[in-house]
Amino acid sequence: ERRDVILQLLAQDGSVSVATLAGRLNVSEVTVRKDLAWLEERQHLVRTHGGAMAAGRRSSELAFEVRQGLNRAEKEAIGAAAAALVHDGESICLDASTTALEVARNLTAHTELTIVTNGLRIAAELAGRPGLTVLMPGGRVRWEAFSLVGTWGEPLFRNVNIQRAFVGAVGFTLEQSLTDVTDEEAQAKRAMVGAAREVIALIDHTKWGRVAFATFCDLDAITRVITDVRAPRDMVDAVRRRGVRVDVVRP
């Protein structure tokens, strides 16, 4: 849990000092340095004199396993609320986000359900379940997100009719709407959004007010946002005034 907090701070700020971490985590600086060494060995960060900075490959993207553990209770609640919107006989899209994985875990009792996803973990979670059909676009594997990306999958999305697309995001603001850290991930999400009648954004409280590299969905195209009770009230109200439904769930 300490290491998750360290990585979350690096994702937000880019760098952090040992002294700051020791105070924030209420542990000794020796313990912090051991955590930093452990994380550096796994290429999650780069140690500097007196602290650490985010790994140079992408300061705002954490490995899937790390992200999966962050705000876990909120993601589980959002995933359950999202899955409750799905009905037997529908066709839906799930992106490769960790919150979409929580949606998938709540769909296993459904029948006659078709799920289109570019998430390898999500496909593995649902594959072989009676009554569920899982479709994946072609593409290149991005290990950071365990996703398939690239133009190979575009023909699939041009030829399917989807009731709902469930998408996560790295950031969400009124101005830039839903954003992700790479254009490849954003491109995959754009394809899902374009194929769906409804777009459901899965946004825990840490994503509000943040902006990542690439926008993949305009605010006016979002049907519903599902978030948790720690989301900033002023932003929630502003989104509602734009005509977007916002469901607030409690972990």
Are 2-59 and 66-249 the same fold in CATH?
Answer: no
237 contacts: CB under 8 Å, gap ≥ 6: none
Task: Report which secondary-structure segment, H or E, holds 71.
Answer: none
pLDDT at 59: 39
Task: Report which secondary-structure segment, H or E, holds 189.
Answer: helix 183-195
Using the structure block, give the residue that is written with the tokens 């290429």.
Answer: 43
Strand-by-strand arrangement of the 45-48 sheet: 15-17, 51-54, 45-48
Question: In CATH, which of 3.40.50.1360, 3.40.605.10, 3.40.50.700, 3.50.50.60 is domain 66-249?
Answer: 3.40.50.1360
pLDDT at 58: 45
- Overall CATH class of domain 2-59: mainly alpha
pLDDT at 177: 95
Distance from chain centroid for Cα 20: 27
State whether residue 82 is helix, strand or coil.
Answer: helix
What is the C-alpha to C-alpha distance for residues 216 and 180, in angstroms, rounded to an integer? 7
Q: Which amino acid is at 41?
A: E
pLDDT at 238: 95
What is the C-alpha to C-alpha distance for residues 21 and 19, in angstroms, rounded to an integer? 5
What are the domain boundaries of the chain? 2-59, 66-249
Mean pLDDT by 10 residues, the chain (251 residues): 85 78 91 90 76 60 62 92 97 96 94 95 94 94 90 89 96 91 92 97 91 90 97 94 98 91
What is the C-alpha to C-alpha distance for residues 145 and 218, in angstroms, rounded to an integer? 23
